Amino acid sequence: MSKSFWQASRFVWGIILISGIVFGILLLGSFHSVLEKTSTLEFCVSCHEMEQTVYQEYLESIHYKNPSGVRATCSDCHVPKEFFAKVWRKVKASKELYHTLIGTIDTPEKFEEHRLEMAERVWGEMIENDSRECRNCHDYHAMDFPNQRQRSREQMEEAMLENKTCIECHKGIAHNKPYSEDEFDD
């Protein structure tokens, strides 16, 4: 093979490599943009079943309006910050979109039929990951126990000593707590 062939070949491979790098950067940037866009409050409540149900409950919660003015949105509680955990959560969210599309939860009544099942799934994930998203804002070691109400302080100190995760005590903090049939059986 001639010297000019190898020079031309290196030039072509260089162009291919640079093009691949540029394409990869654009693809990664686009992927990141989609992850961020689908983590906004506006996106989360764009489905009418969310807007009519859990969003209305959220508007009445301490996570929406509180004395400190700090607001936690849907993604703060339901989407991990770490990249791979975030991607995995988004993959799992496709199941939610599927059920929206097929009409499993497309009315407030159908949503309520499935509320307990959906809540238990979220609670299970939160227990499994030690309430990772809660702990982005709430940390036992950052709490000012002496300035808490006595009952709160006692319960939080006990929870810390027992290494409890947030959701074990705080179900229904941002959304209405669903009731199971067992709660009414006496």
Residue numbers in the known binding site for heme are 44, 47, 50, 74, 77-78, 96, 134, 137-138, 166, 169-170, 175
| C-alpha to C-alpha distance for 125 and 148, rounded to whole angstroms | 28
The candidate with the shortest Cα–Cα distance to 39, out of 69, 71, 76, is: 76
- In the chain, the amino acid numbered 37 is K
Please name the helix (run of DSSP H) or strand (run of DSSP E) that holds residue 110, with its range, or none.
Answer: helix 108-128
Nearest to 90 by CA among 44, 131, 123, 28: 44
Residues 6+ apart with CB under 8 A from 21: none
Binding residues: 44, 47, 50, 74, 77-78, 96, 134, 137-138, 166, 169-170, 175
CB 72 within 8 A of CB 63: yes
